[in-house]
A = this chain, B = another copy of it.
Amino acid sequence: MPAAVGVDFGTESGRALLLDCASGEELAAHTVPYASGAIDRELPGTGERLPGDWALQDPDDWVSVLETGVPAVLEAAGVPANEVVGIGLDVTSCTVLPTRGDGTPLCKLDGWRERRHAWPKLWKHHAAQAVADRLTEVALERDEEFLGRYGGRISSEWYFPKLIEVWLEDREVYDACDEFIEATDWIVWWLTGVQRRQNCTAGYKALWSPLHGLPPNDYFRAAYPGFERPAEKLGESFAALGTCAGTLRPEVAARLGLPESVAVAVGNVDSFVSMPGAGVEQAGTYVMVVGTSICDMVVHAEEIRLPGITGVVKDGILPGVYGYEAGQVAAGDMLAWYVETLGSSYSELEEAAARLRPGETGLIALDWWNGNRSILGDAGVTGVIAGLTLQSSREEIYRALLEAIALGNRRVIENFAEHGFELSEIVACGGIAERSPLTMQLLADTSGLPVHVPASSEIPARGSALFGAVAGGAFDDIGSAIARTRPGTARTYRPDGGAKEVYAEVYAIYRELYDTLGRTQVELLHGLKQIRSEQRSRA
């Protein structure tokens, strides 16, 4: 009975899973919280106050997930270590760090640890918005072909904005690092001693494609004279998903309690592994990972150019098809903000909000608490609640936030449909899919599509384990792995006719507010953010 380990590295914690490759059964799982979490207030060690929009991580936290989590699942499952054939892993992305040529993170070295640009930048580090804007502007001016694969905009969360931010703001850090590498590839490197980057983040986050490679050097030169070798810290060779990167380094094998022979798959991303993890490989099924933020994925046999997505990458999610990614940048984060600001509880709010009728709140929210990813691609917009009255209750506002998630999703789905995608169902996983039936019902009522929630809490780790199993030879390819291990459906939410009708009315208003504050008068929210950052910098 071969088994595989999948490790899913999130924003605040990591989770290890041991999967039975024959039955798809989850043998054991173990969560390890990060000691430093998402670092967005002050730099560890120095206490330096970080600017707004900054978010960092500590590589030690990733290592501790492996060192604690892997032995824990082996022990809990009582599975002999020699039955494990492979490890796969997924990390948030673009979470990226500068390292030396031997793989040492710059932030672990004396003389560098007190420099904030030496630390891993978390996916939600948004401080490079100006760089992203500049890169988009120059790509538009030069009519760069690649831009069409990214919905017409470059996000501040991606590789080059984050790299160029270092180049602009701390040239010594830039010069001192040999590699500027995705966390997922760095962890594979740490496990195997082999630096082997993969094509998924290269495609979705670093503007690379198998056909065209990276954007031309003179594009970067036009945007930032002097920044002329985009491949310098990135490389230009990227392995396909499911490829075996190598086997465990002896000292790592000892610390994880595994044989050195265990195969390690190339890295992957928490969102993308969820599609195979949820057992989905067909076009027409819209997969949502609804957690801290929302990631939406669809595959399609053809390459279709459409605005508002965050990327289309050949082989980027599953081999042989084009993988499309879109998303909403604050979901669980926004709800946590509300619950913490209010000092209330999720279950109380969910229960009270579920008793309200569609449209009864009189509220509409734009879920832009952390900017908008799809379809505006604008980190400079901020959240809005409209329709407040003296009767507005806390559960009404909570429901309006859940509705904002659902209405925002409808906008994304509508955009796909307008460009020829035929979507017939939603598969939703992630913490909110499991914990908030109301949100799932709202997704169904606003989109008009049935929403299926898989019968597993380990969707990303399952996906990673499958890639580990493929790397370790337990399956010929990821398609066979998916077919063999598909999880069942825990719950299906079907659109309610009456609710759908009311939400169509609400959506018409939502759409107008969205277009006004997100496009025609976007200077308004941008201006507010500008004043805020000026005043904070003076504080």
Contacts and interface: CB of A to CB of B under 8 A. Distances in A.
Contacts of A343: 342-343
Interface in A475-519: 502, 505-506, 508-509, 512-513, 516-517
Contact of A342 (B342, B382, B384, B532): B342
A400 B502 CA distance: 32
A390 B330 contact: yes
A211 interface: no
B388 A383 contact: yes
Contacts of A99: none
A363 interface: yes
Contacts of A388: 368-369, 382-385
Copies of this protein chain in the complex: 2
Contacts of A370: 389-390
B393 A528 contact: no
Interface stretch (A23-31, A197-205, A353-361): A353-361
Contacts of A528: 362-364, 386-387, 506, 509
A345 interface: no
B390 A337 contact: yes
Nearest to A364: B528
B386 A532 contact: no
Contacts of A505: 527, 531
A271 B393 CA distance: 29
B517 A387 contact: no
A508 B369 CA distance: 22
A392 interface: yes
Given A342-B342, A390-B337, A513-B524, A532 B384 contact: no
Interface string A378-414: 0000111111111111100100000000000000000
A435 interface: no
A63 interface: no
Interface in A304-321: none
B384 A389 contact: no
B384 A384 contact: yes
Contacts of A169: none
Contact of A531 (B333, B362, B384): B362
A334 B390 contact: yes
B390 A535 contact: no
Given A341-B394, A392-B337, A535 B387 contact: no
Contacts of A386: 382-384, 517, 524-525, 528
19 contacts: A333-B390, A334-B390, A337-B390, A358-B535, A362-B532, A363-B528, A383-B389, A383-B392, A384-B386, A384-B388, A385-B388, A386-B517, A386-B525, A386-B528, A387-B529, A505-B527, A508-B527, A512-B523, A513-B524
Interface of A: 52, 330, 333-334, 337, 341-343, 357-364, 368-370, 382-394, 397, 502, 505-506, 508-509, 512-513, 516-517, 521, 523-525, 527-529, 531-536, 538-539
Given A364-B528, A387-B532, 6 more contacts: A341-B394, A342-B343, A343-B343, A359-B535, A360-B536, A512-B521
Which 4 pairs across A and B sit closest by C-beta, in order of nearness?
A362-B532, A383-B388, A359-B535, A359-B531
